């Protein structure tokens, strides 16, 4: 119980530090005037503050269990509810991240409906596989293998589609951060973070170890952090897009910010 409380406090501390370090960029992106919601801003708020709420919940629950029960006396129904909520946390945060990554690909391919439908179909097939609708009990090892392969395959597809558009552009490999390099490298960093998380799950699944208690808080920290930084870094380099357009060029990312700025509640023409 002590280890669970320490792990939960670590996750909350990391999440709070990340919010503090990026508070200025968040203010400029989300809370600047004129204030209006866009799809991406809404995803940013959900990812960041649902992650924070999850960390607060984990700390509160761990502290309550620490002083109310011992490890052997926690009622099974409480453990079941906690597990169900943690699974919901994982998939909710991952879904937000996947939507952001798919929006980037959708924009890079000039708002291609075929591309977005392809990605949604692939994601649905990978997530809603035979494990979701079992006809008989599923062993841990096959289920874990399917989960790992599904996550890895989707990330590879996303990264391959982005690289196909940016691989040959000179600015992609510039040491000075540019819009193209940010799009390419951020996708790789997200892939790397999820891959490391998967490897950690594999390493901890063979036997019960204290390290397993740290996986959930760290996951709830890493996924919102990756999602929010992908959004903020793209907005940081939006001036490059404006400069390219002003020079009469036909940049690869000509549709990126038009997709990024789609409002959730568009203003009426009478309000404009």
In angstroms, the first-to-last Cα distance of the chain is 56
The pLDDT-based confidence of 3 (bands split at 50, 70, 90) is confident
Which residue stretches of the chain are H helix? Answer: 2-21, 23-29, 39-68, 76-108, 113-127, 140-166, 179-205, 211-236, 238-246, 256-260
Q: What is the pTM of this model?
A: 0.80
Mean pLDDT for the stretch of residues 231-253? 59
Of 13-22, 198-207, 215-224, minimum mean pLDDT range? 198-207
How many Cβ atoms are within 10 Å of 62's Cβ, its own excluded?
22
Q: Which residue has the tokens 């997709």?
A: 259
- Across 2-6, 24-28, 50-54, the highest mean pLDDT is recorded for 50-54
Q: Token digits for 44?
A: 């940013």
- The average pLDDT across 10-28 equals 92
Q: What is the pLDDT of residue 238?
A: 62
Assess whether pLDDT exceeds 90 at residue 53. Answer: yes
pLDDT at 132 over 80: no
The residue ranking higher by pLDDT, 30 or 260, is 30
Average pLDDT estimate for 241-249: 51
CA 66/CA 8 separation, integer angstroms? 12
Mean pLDDT of the chain, nearest integer: 76
Distance of alpha carbon 146 from alpha carbon 126, whole angstroms:
9
Say if residue 14's pLDDT is above 70. yes
- The DSSP output letter for 111 is S
Query: Which tens digit of pLDDT belongs to each residue from 149-203?
Result: 777 888 888 888 887 877 766 555 555 555 666 666 777 778 788 777 777 766 6
- For residue 46, the model assigns a pLDDT of 93
| Phi-psi map region of 25: left, alpha, beta (phi>0 left; psi -120 to 50 alpha) | alpha
Share of residues in the chain with pLDDT > 70 (%): 69
The pLDDT of residue 9 is 93
> Has residue 253 got a pLDDT over 70?
no
Quick one: pLDDT at residue 250?
A: 43
Q: Which residue has the tokens 């503050």?
A: 49
Per DSSP, the three-state class of 251 is: coil
**pLDDT of 249 over the 50 cut:** no
């Amino acid at each position: 119980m002590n280890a669970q409380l320490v792990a939960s406090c670590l996750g909350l501390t990391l999440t709070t530090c990340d919010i503090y370090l990026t508070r200025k960029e968040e203010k400029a992106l989300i809370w600047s005037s004129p204030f209006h919601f866009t799809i991406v801003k809404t995803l940013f708020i959900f990812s960041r503050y649902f992650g924070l709420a999850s960390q607060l919940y984990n700390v509160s629950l761990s502290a309550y269990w620490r002083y109310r029960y011992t490890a052997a006396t926690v009622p099974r129904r409480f453990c079941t509810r906690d597990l169900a909520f943690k699974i919901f946390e994982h998939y909710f945060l991952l879904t937000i991240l996947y939507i952001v990554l798919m929006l980037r690909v959708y924009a890079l391919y000039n708002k291609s409906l075929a591309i977005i439908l392809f990605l949604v179909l692939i994601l649905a097939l990978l997530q809603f596989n035979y494990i979701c609708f079992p006809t008989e009990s599923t062993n841990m090892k096959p289920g874990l293998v399917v989960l790992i392969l599904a996550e890895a395959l989707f990330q590879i597809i996303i990264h391959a589609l982005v690289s196909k558009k940016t691989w040959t552009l000179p600015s992609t490999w510039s040491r000075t951060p540019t819009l193209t390099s940010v799009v390419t490298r951020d996708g790789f960093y997200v892939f790397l973070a999820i891959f490391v998380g998967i490897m950690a799950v594999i390493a901890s699944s063979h036997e019960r170890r204290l390290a397993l208690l740290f996986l959930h808080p760290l996951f709830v920290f890493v996924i919102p952090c990756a999602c929010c930084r992908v959004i903020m870094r793209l907005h940081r380099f939006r001036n490059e897009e404006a400069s390219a357009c002003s020079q009469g060029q036909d940049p690869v990312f000509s549709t990126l910010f038009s997709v990024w700025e789609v409002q959730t509640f568009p203003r009426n023409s009478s309000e404009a």
